[in-house]
Structure 1
């Protein structure tokens, strides 16, 4: 009986260490997003800036489409994903001097904000909504595993 209790205590210890490690990993990632870059603002500062600048530009149809696109993200992470993607869409809209968030800008921003593995779902959703994906092929083709690195340079080349 004593040996079983010993094993349970050891197993419990490994479980706690594992869970604390996972939590620490996510906390560290959040910490890195808060670190200022060369321009003095962090990634989170820029995300909040673009959200505040473009919050009035969203129509109900685009909000609904964004909700559909982030629906496969687990609910625990959905708010974070929605915020990141919406801020990138807002950034694209501001760079294009748009007055509203259009479907075109939304799709471009979604492609830029998400890794390549998520694009299969986007293509499927575009097909369901009878939206031609051909105008966005240049964005799909330029996508890397992590599109966020140097996305602005690649975006400028497509103009």
Structure 2
């Protein structure tokens, strides 16, 4: 009986270490420099620093509402990633302040498709029309990782 408990305890520890290792490895990969010498996390921090003054309290509260379904343990990481994508879009559009449209577009671009269902529901609650964003909903997050700027420019041309 004791040996069974020890075996189960060992399996539990190995499983928990594997899960922790997986998340640490993902973070390690995001910190590796790319061709331009900066990592994904460096770019996220850069866009946040460049656009921190553009955020109004209304947009901050709206972003907080959008990331609310994310488990609290991962919410800070999700908020940073989404806010940096929104900041990147704001810089690309040369906006003086972050708008609701840019916030919604950035949220769509920064999140996987499974999170879009919640966004649609939240926008419906707020009486915001989703039609202008349908083209973004149709493309998955992976489609935006490569050449998203060209696709964005083609759409707006």
TM-score (norm 1): 0.94
Closer, same or farther in 2 for the Cα pair 1:77/1:27, shift >3 Å?
A: same
Give structure 1 regions of 4+ aligned residues with deviation exceeding 6 angstroms: none
Structure 1, unpaired ranges of 5+: none
> Following the alignment from structure 2 to structure 1, what is the Cα–Cα distance between the partners of residues 75 and 16?
21
> In terms of Rg, which structure is larger?
1
> Following the alignment from structure 1 to structure 2, what is the Cα–Cα distance between the partners of residues 134 and 81?
25
> Following the alignment from structure 1 to structure 2, what is the Cα–Cα distance between the partners of residues 37 and 148?
17
Structure 1 residues 32-51: aligned runs within 5 Å: 32-51=29-48
Alignment counterpart, residue 114 of structure 1, candidates 111, 115, 121: 111
TM-score (norm 2): 0.95
CA RMSD of superposed structures (Å): 1.0
Structure 2, unpaired ranges of 5+: none
Give the conservation status (yes or no) of the 8 Å contact 1:138–1:158: no
Shift of 1:147: 4.8
> Following the alignment from structure 1 to structure 2, what is the Cα–Cα distance between the partners of residues 40 and 67?
31
Shift of 1:144: 1.4
Residue 136 of structure 1 corresponds to which residue in structure 2?
A: 133
